[in-house]
Structure formats: structure tokens, C-alpha cells
Amino acid sequence: MAPFPRFLADAAAGTLPNVAFVDPKFSNIGGPESDEHPFADVRVGDNFIASVFHAVRTSPQWDRSVLVVTYDEWGGFFDHVPPPKVADDTDPASVDHTCNVAGTCSEPPGLVPDYRQLGFRVPTVVVSPFSPGRVVHGGPYEHTSILRMIEWRWGLQPLTTRDRRARNLVEVLDFGGVNESADADIPGPAVFVPQACGGPVTGF
């Protein structure tokens, strides 16, 4: 693990590793959080994503890069598409379903999830010299589609049936052409002073 400034420096120097995961800031300690959760300022999250994009887009490694921006859940909005099920050989008995910190678990005791059941759809953006400017409605792709692409690229064996059966996210790329969209077409990170929302929300 390394701090975000290290990612920016490595991108500028062209020394990013083959695979890098970049997380936003999940707390207000030492500055505003950038994870776009309530009650965070969504502009901070937008600024974070813009910073990551421009770091990759202007990196010497850009011509062989794929940036995937996605989310871990759907944000609570209605979705008219019923989530499908997928193949998964995870043994529920091998997973610790207890709380890591006492008093923080909201799930009913003894709840064992069905690992074959996908959740609601989440937005995902794939940015690369090989990503055409289009919206892809096909699929279903899922989070392990990213892992499947990594395994495909580096000749790695799948970890479970889940990623072995997942659709490869590389399908949305077009290696027959290069997207020449200028970096200037995408707004740069904004400079602003974060402002806290009003008092805490009550009534839930």
C-alpha cells in the first residue's frame, strides 16, 4: 500500500506497476473524504476521479493502459433490472460471517449470503486508448470481469469458478483502433473550498 501522492508520482514517472488499485479517502481525518458517500461533498469525489484520470492520461504509460472506474454498490437507487445469478463455488462455511468489530454489524445473526446472487447494477467507466466512446449495454459484466481481464492479460489462472465464468471486460475494448480524444476534452480537477452540509439528518 502507498499514499495517493505516490500513485500520482509513479504515473508521472511512468513507473506504475502492472496492476494498481486506487481507493478514495473514506474518512474526514486529515481532510475531506473523497468516496462520494453521504454526507461527503460529491465535488471532492469528482475531483479525486479527475485527478486519477489525468494522471493516467498524461503518463508515459498511457499508450498501454486501461483505467477502470467502478463502485462497490449502487447507491440505493431503484433498478428495474432483476439481478441475475452467476456460477460461484465459494463454500459459505469457509467464510467468517461474524463482525470484525463488536457492535458494528447490521446483519441478522447467522445470515449467510448466496454468493451466486449479483446485486443491483453499478456504473463502470473504462478509459483507455483502446476504449471507443460508446455506452455498452451488453453483459452482464460484474466486478470479477475486471479480475478476468487481469488474468487474461497476464496469463494467470482463475482463482475460483466465479472469475473463470465471468465475462472478460476486455470485450469492451477495440484493439483495432486508437481513441485520439485529447486530454483537454476532459475537465481537470477543480479547485474549491469544501463546505460542510447543514446539521445531521434525523428522522430515519
- For the chain, domain boundaries: 1-79+122-127+173-197
Higher-confidence residue of 77 and 167: namely 167
Alpha carbon 64 to its chain centroid, in Å, reads 19
Q: Give the chain's count of helices (H) and strands (E).
A: 4, 2
- How far is 14 from 12, CA to CA, in rounded Å? 6
In the predicted structure, residue 169 carries a pLDDT above the cut 50:
yes
pLDDT above 70 covers a percentage of the chain that reads 81
In the predicted structure, residue 71 carries a pLDDT above the cut 80:
yes
In the predicted structure, residue 145 carries a pLDDT above the cut 80:
yes
In the predicted structure, residue 164 carries a pLDDT above the cut 90:
yes
Max mean pLDDT among 36-45, 158-167, 193-202 falls in: 158-167
pLDDT for position 91: 85
Higher-confidence residue of 99 and 19: namely 19
In the predicted structure, residue 92 carries a pLDDT above the cut 70:
yes
pLDDT for position 204: 34
User: Are 132 and 174 a contacting pair, CB within 8 Å?
Assistant: yes
pLDDT for position 150: 97
Q: Which candidate, 30, 64, 65, 25, places its Cα nearest to that of 47?
A: 25
Cell of 59: 503518463
Whole-number average pLDDT of the chain: 84
Cell of 23: 481507493
Higher-confidence residue of 113 and 7: namely 7
Higher-confidence residue of 83 and 106: namely 83
In the predicted structure, residue 114 carries a pLDDT above the cut 80:
yes
pLDDT for position 202: 44
Across residues 172-188, what is the average pLDDT?
Answer: 76
pLDDT for position 135: 86
pLDDT above 90 covers a percentage of the chain that reads 48
pLDDT for position 137: 77
On the question of a cis peptide bond just before residue 24, with omega within 30 degrees of 0, the verdict is no
